[in-house]
Amino acid sequence: MSDSLFADASKRLEEAMKYVAISDDALEHLKYPKSSLAVSIPVRMDDGSLKIFQGYRVRYDDTRGPTKGGVRYHPNVCMDEVQSLAFWMTFKCAVLNLPFGGAKGGITLNPKELSKMELERLSRGYVDAIADFIGPDIDIPAPDVYTNPMIMGWMMDQYNIIRRQITPAVVTGKPISMGGSLGRDTATATGAFYAIQIIMPKFDKLPEDTTVAIQGFGNAGAWLAELLFTAGYKVVAVSDSQGGIYAKNGLDIPRIRQYKTSSKGIKALYCQDTVCDIADNQSITNEELLALDVDILIPAALENQITQENVNDVKAKFIFEVANGPVASGADKILEERGIYVFPDILVNAGGVTVSYFEWVQNRSGLYWTLEEVNQRLRQKMVEETEHIWKISQELAISMRTAAYVHALHRLGEAINAKGTRDYYINGGMS
């Protein structure tokens, strides 16, 4: 366990515990996931062969409400990763004060190697395997790495078939035509953009004087790049899994996004091309992007991108975590000692789960909001919680990550304690 991602994720609490009066019962409760499920998913492939895929779903904590979390399709998916992501989701929901606990799911595969029909059979097979583990009042899946609205639509439809009823609130991130929320597909990026807009003026940084590098040009990274570009920030580098591009005077982000989404970039469900094929910009590696001398570095790909091995190469003054867990715990202290501000994933990328909550609310009520209403509500949430965490950070002289965990622990501790603690029972109940 000492080398696991979950053990590394759990270390985030150690520093926060110094600043929170939380019961032993609550601490004990948060050490372990509520339930974990591993399933085998048989899929008939297009060539007639049968292939078994390994799937997972972890519900970490449901003290504050039904659990919530995405489903990722990736070769590195394993129980340790899924449990860690569910742990982070627990705190993310508490940070944004959502009535959810944390969950996560995934299937171990390279989705780019499957046809659309194989992906559909796999997605429906996953729901067949976990149908008794999920539900609108139990656990609500959503998109994550290499999953999208179409895949969420397949999952919801399969759940409907199994239950013999229409249950749109079982899954969020669905197509709009199936009950999805406006703004959900861009929510992670939009929430991160709001956080950046709230934080940077505190350091007297104007957009036109601020350089940005973004690792990860998937849905969140690409949309955030365009939002920043439109707001006047100088986005000088972006990358995807194959490599990246750099331009000292700034990149033409709309052109790069168009390239990625044009017919020469996406001809199937997943993109086969890479941003580094655009010839009139300097090609760089993902490692070189992380070491660029920029104002803002945005890791928007996968976890553990900045570790003790490469942390000293980082030159950015501010890091906004759009990916989950991109900075390893061992690198945190070094960045702090070097005066580099890290704004944590459980705050910065919480726009996705926040608008998933909005989608769930809309599904349950049958009343649907305009895009303007969704973004206004999201901005209100992000401003309120970012300012609250900034205040904790300043008052206690602690990092924004520690402040976010302090904020979340207060809310989780109160909810757990409300069910009764050792002190409550030993001291005679309500007396």
CA dihedral angle for residue 265, residue 271, residue 276, residue 279, rounded to 10 degrees: -10
Catalytic residue (choose from 34, 92, 104, 381) = 104
Q: How many helices (H) and strands (E) does the chain have?
A: 16, 12
Residue 246, strand partner residues:
237, 282
User: DSSP letters of 183-194?
Assistant: TSTTHHHHHHHH
From CA 414, how far away is CA 417, in angstroms rounded? Answer: 5
From CA 280, how far away is CA 259, in angstroms rounded? Answer: 13
From CA 93, how far away is CA 172, in angstroms rounded? Answer: 15
307, exposed or middle or buried, with CB in 10 Å at 0-12, 13-18, 19+? middle
Query: Is 112 labeled as catalytic in the residue annotation?
Result: no
From CA 300, how far away is CA 192, in angstroms rounded? Answer: 10
SS3 category, 76: coil
User: In which residue are the tokens 């890091």 written?
Assistant: 319
Catalytically annotated residues: 104
